[in-house]
């Protein structure tokens, strides 16, 4: 969500994030929550 809120600053990251598969998305969120 945070990536989506920052408009043009994060277009490349937003695109990459939106293209993740469901398992990749889940793994990334799990990793971020563990930080």
Q: Is the pLDDT of residue 11 over 90?
A: no
At 3, is the pLDDT very low, low, confident or very high (cuts 50, 70, 90)? low
Say whether 35 sits in a helix, a strand or coil: coil
% residues pLDDT > 70 (the chain): 89
Task: Specify whether the CB–CB gap between 3 and 10 falls below 8 A.
Answer: yes
For the segment 3-12, the average pLDDT, to the nearest whole number, is: 73
User: Residues of 4-30 as b/e, b for ≥16 C-beta within 10 angstroms?
Assistant: eeeeeeeeeebeebeeeeeeeeeeeee
Strand segments (E) across 1-35: none
% residues pLDDT > 90 (the chain): 54
> Taking all residues of the chain, what is their mean pLDDT, rounded to a whole number?
86
pLDDT at 26: 95
d(CA 10, CA 16): 10
């Amino acid at each position: 969500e945070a990536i989506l809120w920052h408009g043009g600053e994060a277009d490349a990251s937003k695109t990459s994030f939106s293209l993740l598969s469901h398992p990749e998305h889940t793994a990334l969120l799990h990793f971020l929550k563990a930080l």
